[in-house]
Amino acid sequence: MIGLLLPSIRATLVLAIATGIIFPCIITAICQVCFPFQANGSLAKQGDKVVGSELLAQGFSKPEFFHPRPSAAGSGYAGEASGGTNYGPTSRKLILGDQSFAGIKQEAENYRKENDLAKDVLVPVDAVTRSASGLDPAITPANALLQSKRVAKARNLSESQVQELIKKYSEERYLGLIGEPAVNVLRLNMALEALPKGTRQAE
Amino acid sequence: MTLIGWTQIFLFALILLVVTKPLGSYMLKVVEGEKHILSGVLGWLERLTYKLFGINPEKDMTWIEYGQSMLAFSLISMLFTYAILRLQGFLPLNPMHFSTEQAPAYATALTPDLAFNTAMSFTTNTNWQAYSGENTMSYLSQMLGLAYHNWISAAVGLAVAAAFIRGFARRTAGGVGNFWTDLTRSCLYILMPMGIVYSLFLAAQGVPQTFDAYQVASTLEGAKQIIPLGPIASQEWIKMLGINGGGFLNANSAHPFENPTPLSNFIQMISIFLLPAGLTYSFGKAVGDTRQGWALLAAMFVLWFAGTFLCYQFEAIGNPNMQDQGVEITTAALGDSGGNMEGKEVRFGLANSALFAVVTTDASCGAVNCMHDSLTPIGGLVTLLNIQLGEIVFGGVGSGLYGMLVYAVLTVFIAGLMVGRTPEYVGKKIEKKEVKMAMLFVLAAAFSILVFTGISTVLDFPEKSFINPQGATWNNVNNGGPHGLSEILYAFSSATGNNGSAFAGISVNTPFYNTLLGIAMFIGRFLMMVPVLAMAGALAGKKHVPATSGTFPTYSWLFVVLLTGVIIIVGALTFFPVLTLGPIVEEFLMNSRRLF
């Protein structure tokens, strides 16, 4: 019995220190030198102030900002509680909602109202569904374009100016092949904020 | 479905096919202690490790000695992790002060049953998570308690697969190899070099790697947002490559900090299948006929493709209940950003989400980049059935190969019955003991999944009771109707299959579920590994039977078809009734617009 347990105890200690302490420390050291921006959370800053992470969605509800997808992380976009709704396809709450939860029906109505869309305009599905992480930083280009009119009006910009920005911040597929086109909402909104105010161009 | 979606899926398959052979020969060289590219550079470290372990690397173990070492090592490692988790409040590298009095308001307590469940979960390579990483675990718990297990449970899987391969390859041998050398070489020559490259790649893509505390940002609209951080990259790679699947953060590979870009996602999917694909070639080479390995790989590819097609197809069709609300869901209009986007991320889209869901359940990975609970009924059925078939489609590191070989043994046995000959597989006679062990392997999993699911649909406890505060055990689900049953069924399938993914709407952090799921994980790991080792021992002792004209060639397409058939029939006969009550009936109800 001792002959069996002793190597097990020694192996546990040796491998735990090697894989659980030494390995992550070496990797941390390399990453902090080679990729300090990414290794520290891809923080987005305005001056010295940390306003979020470029990789994480944050809540936007004012009309002058592009809005991310709805979120099920905590009370919405909570970094400490990532996750999805986990509602299945036949969930009444998911589709119709209740007092505490806006279902897809209500999300679609809100989206139409906010963006002044006619009743028969279909809402892109990513705008009314919650992502898996609750922190999905991106929306589809189709979703962004439908919001551009509202944002342009609220910022006194021309629609084409806003749409140009959308184009600039659309991430294409990797090598034209892998992934899906996506617009990073925080980067786009920060670019809007960086524009000089009231520069509406003649249309 | 879209053309570009399918192009990505085929690219994925192509890359796997290309790397199978070089990787497989390298892995075989490593476990057999032959000279290879790294043995000169790291040989001193290997010898030093044996000295520190205090073992004799030359000793050839019988299957019983091998199994005892494996079990003793697993037990000690599990107790070690349990202790780390329970003591994390007193240990360093806990910048968020979890399990102390200064813990933030959102912290979850690491109770004894949660620590037991987690330790069992990581020891068995299940990586079921009844907790959310970012609000429960200190950095030390993640690194030393959990990432450590990601390494060694993968290495133990490789070791057992190596022993099983030796059972077929050796002739009239007493032993099946040495557990400690298999373990050490797997860690040192296979996992570590890949880990360095892979974790740096992930960090470059945007996965954090720091010991600093969480950041607090004040957003553009003036709200406070907590940004969780930690040594994530150094854990993320082994979570994928070791087919563990236990995420640093709750949302797992859907979280932008674990899987930031489409490229990182693509590499993560490949790394799930990488080692098991290579092992099929190692097996063929070890038994002296690489066609045997390719035949197993072919059966795996057939089952993988069928699952991917179904899942992708139904996710692309989407949910008509959403369409009714004036929502555009067609892939004709939106490409792979249409379909069922609930619980999916925009940067991955449909093809990469469906492929990930299939790959992670084909293998016993359990990492997720979309929420399986929100998949369409048939999409969810595919993931569920993949796990229930025993995760032999590529499967876990090691466990996939030996699971597939158990089915290969059953297949030649059934073929032998049909023609009335003693079955043989790769030159070994398959007799009473092997078939008994194979059946034990199949029945243990079915028992654990079906009986525990059954129990959990009928047990009624008083409300607010200690054992299950929700009261009756079926109250823990967050979806009504057949989907609720699917949630319970998925939990026990995932635990028994050592998968670790979930229909995560079910609240499982209660003493009842933590304990019962912990037992299911134990059955799924060790009641599978021990029969496999017993089979290896029995096979190793046998003479080699030369192939004659009457031998059923187990490298032919006929064998691949028969093997696939046996897998589907065994799986379907066992699980079809309960799947009918869950996802299948849900599909019909969804299309007739019934909501629960």
Three-class SS string for chain A?
A: CHHHHHHHHHHHHHHHHHHHHHHHHHHHHHHHHHCHHHHCCCEEEECCEEEEECCCCCCCCCCCCCCCCCCCCCCCCCCCCCCCCCCCCCCHHHHHCECCECCHHHHHHHHHHHCCCCCCCCEEHHHCCCCCCCCCCEECHHHHHHHHHHHHHHHCCCHHHHHHHHHHCEECCECCCECCCEEEHHHHHHHHHHCCCCCCCCC
Residue B325 with chain A: CB contacts under 8 Å: 95, 104-105, 108, 128
Q: Rounded to the nearest 10 degrees, how much is the dihedral formed by the CA atoms of B243, B244, B247, B250?
A: 110
Q: Which two tokens stand for residue B475?
A: 């109250």
B424 membership: H or E segment, kind and range: strand B424-425
User: Could you tell me the end-to-end alpha-carbon distance of chain A, in angstroms, rounded to an integer?
Assistant: 86
Q: Looking at chain A, which residue has its C-alpha nearest residue B238? A: A19
Between the alpha carbon of residue B358 and those of residues B330, B364, B404, B491, the distances in Å are 22, 11, 17, 17
Residues 537-576 of B with CB under 8 A from A: none
Find where tokens 């298999």 sit: B182
Q: Provide the H-helix boundaries in B186-289.
A: 192-205, 233-241, 262-286
Pairing type for strands A182-184 and A138-139 reads: antiparallel
Chain B residues touching residue A75 (CB < 8 angstroms): none
d(CA B391, CA B576): 17
CA dihedral B122, B372, A137, B219 (to 10 degrees): -70
Give burial (CB, 10 Å; 0-12/13-18/19+) of B142.
Answer: buried
**C-alpha–C-alpha distance, residues B521 and B529, integer Å:** 12
What gap in Å lies between CA B411 and CA B354, rounded to an integer?
Answer: 30
Please give the structure tokens belonging to residue B250: 């709750």
What pLDDT, on a 0 to 100 scale, did the predictor assign at position A197? 66
Which candidate from A8, A39, A129 shows the least CB-CB separation from B208? A39
DSSP 8-state secondary structure symbol assigned to residue B224: E
Which pair of structure tokens corresponds to residue A120?
């028969």
> What beta strand segments (E) does B317-404 contain?
327-328
Q: How far is A1 from chain B (nearest CA, A)?
A: 9
Least CB-CB distance to A180: which of B52, B134, B336?
B336
β-pairing, B428-429 vs B215-218, is unpaired
CB pairs under 8 A between A and B: 410
Phi, psi dihedrals of residue B311, rounded to the nearest 5°: -65, -50
Measured CA to CA, the distance from residue B317 to residue B334 in angstroms comes to: 12
The alpha carbon torsion through B248, B254, B259, B263 (nearest 10 deg) reads 160
Gap from B564 CA to chain A (nearest CA, Å): 31
Element (H, E) at B226: strand B224-227
Contact B226 A80 (CB under 8 A): yes
Q: Rounded to 5 degrees, what angle do the CA atoms B10, B12, B13 make? A: 65
Q: How many CB atoms lie within 10 A of CB B112?
A: 12
Closest to A183 (Cα-Cα) out of A125, A137, A121: A137
Q: How far apart are CA B441 and CA B376, in angstroms?
A: 31
| Total Cβ atoms within 10 A of residue A120 | 7
CA–CA distance, B266 with B355 (Å, rounded to integer): 10
Q: Are B93 and B139 within 8 A, CB to CB?
A: yes
B264 within 8 A of B384, measured Cβ to Cβ: no
Residue pair B8/B266 in contact (Cβ under 8 Å)? The answer is yes
Q: Are strands B327-328 and A123-124 parallel, antiparallel or unpaired?
A: parallel
Residue of B220, B315, B355 to mutate, testing the A interface (most A Cβ within 10 Å of its Cβ): B220
pLDDT value at residue A190:
96
Chain B hits for A108, CB-CB cut-off 8 Å, are: 325-327
Euclidean distance between CA atoms B395 and A62, whole angstroms? 48
B374 and A84 Cβ atoms separated by less than 8 Å: yes
Continuous segment of H or E residues that includes residue B216 = strand B215-218
Cα distance between residue B112 and residue B414, in whole Å: 46
- Chain A residues in contact with B11 by the CB 8 A cut-off are 177-178
Bridge-based pairing state of the strands A138-139 and A123-124: unpaired
ipTM: 0.95
**Which of the 8 DSSP states describes residue B186?**
I
pLDDT at B164: 87
Q: How far is CA A118 from the centre of its chain?
A: 27
Q: Which residues are CB-neighbours of B378 under 8 A, at least 6 positions away?
A: B310, B311, B314, B583, B587
pLDDT tens for chain A, 203 residues long, are 778 899 999 999 999 999 999 999 999 999 999 999 999 999 999 999 999 999 999 999 999 999 999 999 999 999 999 999 999 999 999 999 999 999 999 999 999 999 999 998 999 999 999 999 999 999 999 999 999 999 999 999 999 999 999 999 999 999 999 999 999 999 999 999 998 765 555 44
> Residues of chain B whose pLDDT is less than 70?
none
Residue of B nearest to A105 (CA): B325
